[in-house]
Amino acid sequence: MAQPSVSPTPILKDELDIVIPTIRNLDFLEMWRPFFQQYHLIIVQDGDPTKVIKVPEGYDYELYNRNDINKILGPKASCISFKDSACRCFGYMVSKKKYIFTIDDDCFVAKDPSGKDINALEQHIKNLLTPSTPFFYNTLYDPYREGADFVRGYPFSLREGVPTAVSHGLWLNIPDYDAPTQLVKPLERNARYVDAVLTIPKGTLFPMCGMNLAFNRELIGPAMYFGLMGDGQPIGRYDDMWAGWCTKVICDHLGLGVKTGLPYIWHSKASNPFVNLKKEYKGIYWQEELIPFFQAATLSKECTTVQKCYIELSKQVKAKLGKVDEYFIKLADAMVTWIEAWDELNPSGDSAELLPNGSKK
């Protein structure tokens, strides 16, 4: 008699949470079942808290709506965005796991060039569990992948790499374009599958997209604040960008790595470019001053934890970007509130103190 097949225990099953922001039923999880079902989900429901969100049977999950957020955080709930996917960062805060993978509900399973379904989560885990090389660029990309290594001329003193804090994945089909580019190229689709993972060099910023993203919560979690966006705010669709810029500055200071490239997901739905333009238009202007600010930002040697780095960065935001618009004064205050709320919910989970070169004290 044939024995029933037993699914192997996936890697990091008890060390990783999947965070999903949503306003709708999560039918998309059916196609992700082979890859996600054995992991714990944290669902952050945006919008109307009285709406019932349906989750496919068989998933282990906890769901938080706005009422829950207000109850848990009290007055500090003001730092969590409403009517914007930026609310996902509440899931990062309440998680007790070492790693986070976050994905949007319009992201489906992609296929590699051979037609095989891509296990995006598995690739993110591989990225996070292998070192990064931010101090010297390896022309064969990620030297820790199977079939690759450090090329001739790469310093042996740097081949140990540094811990990887962030794994940033990409998208097939609908690219993550801003509204002006959407309007100019309404039919453009990304069909290019590039089989590569790269470390983003130290001192280089990047546009971080939050819909296919994983990170080491213990290393960088407190920096993954997605800002004040959506309802009552003058800007939207810059939540993940803001988090990415802050995170990269702090990773560079603490000697941590950020990777981008694989894995791909299939981004199924293009958002409305006219709605996006309304959300983005101030950000499109502001980013011309935001980027130089982050490029020039430096943190003192006393900043040995992510929390200390983030508080110091918030002071710089208030002092320098507050001159751009008063919104940034409000955002700087929210950054401090976020850290206070994080530490209240994670009293023993303070980031390990790191020296500026990334080694632990």
Per the structure block, which two tokens stand in for 161? 């790499």
Question: Distance of CA 135 to CAs 127, 138, 161, 258, 260, Å?
Answer: 17, 10, 8, 11, 16
Position 270 scores a pLDDT of: 86
Q: Which helix (DSSP H) or strand (DSSP E) does residue 243 occupy? A: helix 239-254
Q: How many CA atoms lie within 13 A of 142 on its CB side?
A: 27
- Residue 257 pairs in a beta bridge with 164
Per-residue pLDDT tens over the stretch 121-144: 999 999 999 999 999 999 999 999
Per-residue pLDDT tens over the stretch 36-51: 999 999 999 999 999 9
Query: In this structure, are residues 286 and 259 in contact, taking their beta carbons and an 8 Å threshold?
Result: no
Q: How confident is the model over 251-276, as a mean pLDDT?
A: 97
Position 310 scores a pLDDT of: 98
Tokens 């804090």 sit at which residue?
Answer: 165
Position 92 scores a pLDDT of: 98
Burial call 228-238: b when 16+ CB within 10 Å, e when fewer: bbbeebebbbb
| For residue 234, cis peptide bond before it (omega within 30 degrees of 0) | no
Q: Which helix (DSSP H) or strand (DSSP E) does residue 297 occupy? A: none
Indicate the range of 234-238, 302-306, 327-331, 352-356 predicted with least confidence. 352-356
If one counts every other C-beta atom within 10 angstroms of the C-beta of residue 333, the result is: 16
Position 1 scores a pLDDT of: 42
Query: In this structure, are residues 169 and 125 in contact, taking their beta carbons and an 8 Å threshold?
Result: no
Tokens 């070169």 sit at which residue?
Answer: 357
CA-wise closest residue to 199 among 171, 170, 162: 162
pTM for the complete prediction?
0.95
Query: In this structure, are residues 275 and 120 in contact, taking their beta carbons and an 8 Å threshold?
Result: no
Torsion, Cα 343 346 348 349, to 10 degrees, reads -100
Position 9 scores a pLDDT of: 84
Pairing relation of β-strands 99-103 and 257-267? unpaired
Per the structure block, which two tokens stand in for 79? 């730092």
Query: In this structure, are residues 49 and 305 in contact, taking their beta carbons and an 8 Å threshold?
Result: no
Query: In this structure, are residues 358 and 255 in contact, taking their beta carbons and an 8 Å threshold?
Result: yes
Query: In this structure, are residues 116 and 243 in contact, taking their beta carbons and an 8 Å threshold?
Result: no
CA-wise closest residue to 271 among 228, 191, 207, 211: 211
Reported as a pLDDT band with limits 50, 70 and 90, residue 279 is very high
Per-residue pLDDT tens over the stretch 188-235: 999 999 999 999 999 999 999 999 999 999 999 999 999 999 999 999
CA-wise closest residue to 331 among 285, 299, 290: 290
Position 112 scores a pLDDT of: 98
Query: In this structure, are residues 18 and 101 in contact, taking their beta carbons and an 8 Å threshold?
Result: yes
What is the sign, positive or negative, of the torsion defined by CA atoms of 187, 193, 194, 196?
Answer: positive
Q: At what angle do helices 273-296 and 239-254 cross, to 10 degrees?
A: 20
Position 336 scores a pLDDT of: 98
Q: Please provide the distance, in angstroms rounded to a whole number, between the alpha carbons at the two ends of the chain.
A: 58
Strands (E), 99-175: 99-103, 107-108, 164-173
- Residue 19 pairs in a beta bridge with 42, 102
Longest dimension (CA), the chain: 74
